[in-house]
Structure 1
């Protein structure tokens, strides 16, 4: 079976074709990978077939700050099928200003070795309009 991928690792966005065989039990055997302009493309396709992972960048509410939201992200990608579960946990969070970039908001989200960290400092004060 031929599967098509667009690599998201670097700006090249290579169109990659992988010839795979699905074995009993659902495991995939990769026969060939073509179209990757760099080694990272092949690594990306293998990861996508074995254990697809994604990162999250979003925002959380801030009370008492000059901005109503602070941006946050994961420190490492988590399994793709757990993204919505992670977002539910992040939505429960609310910060109190002042907020400092780099602050860990949630440690080991969903039991994975990935933290949710603040990426935008928000000083305390009157909300900017």
Structure 2
């Protein structure tokens, strides 16, 4: 029998959900609600995460802008997405919520800015 455990993140209870696999039979135990059960099913079969990183800003008052995906993307795509974003440079000004990249890696998630970055004041040069 193969066993795996995850801690549910949907509420403060933090239920420990255990998956037991024996042949074709899969059993989930330890969930405290239906939402936790559904979350655990997805976490065991297709885990997803929100990607957060920073991108370089050209002519910005600050050098980097924080960005994130607006939806969780498959965990297996995280490193590929980071490599794709690695060489992206945005031009100031940048507004909160600006879409930097639509539908990254065909996941349905957009990469959006999470901070406003004004254009560098040329008198400060």
Distance (whole Å) between structure 2 residues aligned to residue 92 and residue 9 of structure 1? 34
Equivalent of residue 31 in structure 1, options 27, 32, 37:
27
Question: In the alignment, is residue 80 of structure 1 matched against residue 81 of structure 2?
Answer: no
Q: Which segment drifts farther, 115-124 or 4-13?
A: 4-13
RMSD (Å) for aligned C-alpha atoms: 2.1
Q: In the alignment, is residue 123 of structure 1 matched against residue 118 of structure 2?
A: yes
Classify 1:89/1:10 alpha carbon distance in 2 versus 1 (closer, same or farther; 3 Å).
farther
Distance 1:99 1:13 in 2: 37
1:94-121: CA deviation from partner (whole Å, max 9, x where unpaired): 1111111111101111112111011111
1:103-122 correspondence runs (5 A): 103-122=98-117
Rounded to whole Å, the distance in 1 between the matches of 2:23 and 2:48 is 20
Contact kept? 2:17, 2:28, Cα under 8 Å: no
TM-score, normalised to structure 2, is 0.85
Which whole-Å CA distance do the structure 1 matches of 2:119 and 2:67 have between them? 18
Conservation of the 8 A alpha-carbon contact between 2:93 and 2:119: yes
Counterparts in 2 of 1:74 and 1:22: CA distance versus 1, 3 Å = farther
Q: How many residues align?
A: 122
1:56 equivalent in alignment to 2:56: no
Relative to the length of structure 1, the TM-score reads 0.82
Counterpart CA distance in 1 for 2:12 and 2:117 is: 31
Gap change, CA 1:42 and 1:65, over 3 Å in 2: same
